[in-house]
Amino acid sequence: MLEKYLRFIYSYFVLLLDNSIDLKPTAFDIHFEQKFKKLCCLIKERMDNL
């Protein structure tokens, strides 16, 4: 359930960020994706530890 929610948030942010015409990921997009994946891992760990 949480994963679906996070995916939704991620896709929403991607839509917000991806208003450029070219589809090549920028350095910021890559940085954002890495940060987001790290955040998801942290949340998942916390949920597993509950």
Query: HSE-up of 10 (CA within 13 Å, CB side)?
Result: 17
Q: Which pLDDT belongs to residue 19?
A: 60
Q: What is the pLDDT of residues 2-46, one digit of tens each?
A: 778 777 777 777 766 666 555 666 777 777 778 888 887 888 888
- Integer Cα distance of 30 and 14 in angstroms: 11
Domain ranges of the chain: 2-49
- Integer Cα distance of 30 and 45 in angstroms: 23
Query: HSE-up of 5 (CA within 13 Å, CB side)?
Result: 5
Closest CA to 5 of 35, 44, 46, 45: 44
